[in-house]
Amino acid sequence: MTTKKSSINVWLIVCICLLVANFAVMLGIWATGGNIQRLFSGFPTFSVGTKGYYSKFDKFAMIDELLQHEYLDQEMLSGAKEEMIERALQAYVAGLDDPYTTYLTAEENTQLQNLLHDEIGISGIGAVVEKKDTYIQISEVIKNWPAYKAGLLPLDRVLYIETGSTKDLSNSEAVALIRGEKWTPVHLTIQRIEKDESSTTFDVEIIRDNIEIPSVVAKSLTISGHHVGYFSVSSISDQTTKLFVNELLELIDEHLDGMILDLRGNGGGYLEEAVKFLGHFIPKKEVVVTSEYYGYEPVFFSSQGRGELAELPLVVLVDQMTASAGEIIALALQEREILVIGMPTFGKGNIQSVETFPDHSSLKFTVGKWFSPNHVNVSGTGLIPDIEVKRDAELYDASQIDNQLERAKEELFTLMDA
């Protein structure tokens, strides 16, 4: 009885296999040895591995091969190939949904590198932009230039330039539309995503200007007979500390009674440069920031400077655009009981690295988090100033009086007279 049933089962299996094989031939597909082969001549063969599945990147190659062999308009395909790859790379990285991790085209990377090296000499609005999924994102706003004065912030989304949507624009196309002759206007529609995930959309007209950005600008102030150095630091580029020292040496010749360090609008820059900068305010070997990375032990960055300004009366100004390396400096000083005035800062407590490729495109990606000497990370909250003062834009427009700076002068005078 058992033998008879076994014979029947064997014949059934054989019949089923023959039917499946015939069906496969009818479809023009044959599966064998882990490979999928198309029997029609001229079609590519794809390996899917011994376990019968292909890797995620094999699929990309398969699509490319199919288009190369079967797409109707090969001339169009050839002309669009580079743009297709660029968009695919951007979309792949955008899938992380990390606003600080992005694939940058060669042009976008050049913008970023110019900002980090204090090398911008163009006519525009003073912002660095990058292409995201269906919009153009502002990644940096340069202090004291048109975008900054118009109130634009990092992570703002540019939905329209003039009356045209940015949805289908490449980054280079958007940049070309935003730039223009000095003193000419450009109209932008901006979407801002708030920290509570709500959003607002507004229109803004910005007058273009020639953008030149030394990251440190200094001047001498007199406050009730006291000689004060005012230092505006717009970014933490690889030249910032050098520029700061050069300006400082000129002012020190006249003797300084106090200092105002203005970090408003400082969108950040190099972590190592922030550490170097802090060496003038914090004595050698004291920890100024700690960084933590995936798969590595924490890295402790200590002051390597002399801390020659540690005893000088100092007030720091910050605002909602002070971010990243700018926040590293402000928070390290605040934790040493230096008075910080202004508005809560942006809250960017993570660290990015930039990997540049041979074609000058790059990947800017999040690699770690940073913490203050007291192990505070500002992500999501920002630095809370000791004295909160909202900028009075109407007062400034009417009389050029900077109410935040005026409050800093008052507080510094109290410190100098103490």
Whole-number Cα distances in Å, 182 to 142, 200, 369: 17, 29, 39
Asked if 274 contacts 235 with a C-beta cutoff of 8 angstroms, the reply is no
In the three-class reduction of DSSP (H, G, I as helix; E, B as strand; rest coil), residue 196 is classed as coil
**CATH architecture of the domain with residue range 121-211:** Roll (2.30)
Per-residue pLDDT reduced to its tens digit, 200-209: 999 999 999 9
**CATH architecture of the domain with residue range 216-417:** Alpha-Beta Complex (3.90)
Neighbours of 408 (CB within 10 A): 26
Asked if 250 contacts 220 with a C-beta cutoff of 8 angstroms, the reply is no
Strand pairing category for 122-124 and 127-131: unpaired
pLDDT of residue 166: 93
DSSP state of 252: H
Neighbours of 251 (CB within 10 A): 19
* Calpha distance 355→237 (Å, rounded): 17
Identity (one letter) of the amino acid at 59? K
Domain ranges of the chain: 2-93, 121-211, 216-417
Strand partners, 302: 287
pLDDT of residue 16: 38
Per-10-residue mean pLDDT of the chain, 418 residues long, equals 41 39 37 35 43 70 93 94 91 92 88 70 82 85 86 93 90 86 93 88 94 82 93 91 92 86 93 97 96 94 95 96 96 98 96 93 95 96 97 85 96 91
Q: Longest C-alpha distance within the chain, in Å?
A: 115
* Calpha distance 342→315 (Å, rounded): 11
Residue 330: left if φ>0, alpha if ψ -120 to 50, beta else—which one?
A: alpha
- Could you give phi then psi for residue 132, rounded to 5 degrees? -110, -160
Asked if 339 contacts 386 with a C-beta cutoff of 8 angstroms, the reply is yes
Helices (H), 42-105: 56-70, 74-94
